[in-house]
Amino acid sequence: MQLNGFNCMDCGKDTYQSREYYMLRNDVWRRICPDDYKGMLCLVCVEKRLGRALVLSDFPYWNINDEAVRKLNLLSENCVIK
Ligand SMILES: [Zn+2]
């Protein structure tokens, strides 16, 4: 697997292709990723590391998050994220 800046650090999924680019609030990101500020995680792996489902308040209100938040709602509806 070719790792680039967009691959999920945990599962290797290409977050650019899946359009999972987003920013979490700093304190949330630091909790799940204390050593790596530059890596990417897909939404599923973020929730695994957090140990809970992501909620809207984990995201700052930036345009960059629109796609991720839409995707999150979609995933939750389909119960993909456990
Ligand atoms: Zn992942």
Question: Which residues form the domain of 26?
Answer: 1-82
Of residues 33 and 4, which shows the higher confidence score? 33
Q: Write down the pLDDT at residue 12.
A: 94
Ligand 1 centroid vs 62 CA: distance in angstroms? Answer: 22
Ligand 1 centroid vs 29 CA: distance in angstroms? Answer: 14
- Whole-model pTM: value is 0.72
Q: Write down the pLDDT at residue 80.
A: 47
Q: What is the DSSP string of 45-56?
A: HHHHHHTS---G
Question: For residue range 33-80, what is the model confidence (pLDDT) as tens digits?
Answer: 887 667 889 999 999 999 999 888 888 876 667 777 777 776 655 544
17 DSSP 8-state letter: T
Q: Write down the pLDDT at residue 17.
A: 87
Q: Write down the pLDDT at residue 63.
A: 67
Ligand 1 centroid vs 78 CA: distance in angstroms? Answer: 18
Residues near ion ligand 1 (CB < 5 Å) are: 8, 10-11, 13, 42, 45
Quote the number of domains for the chain: 1
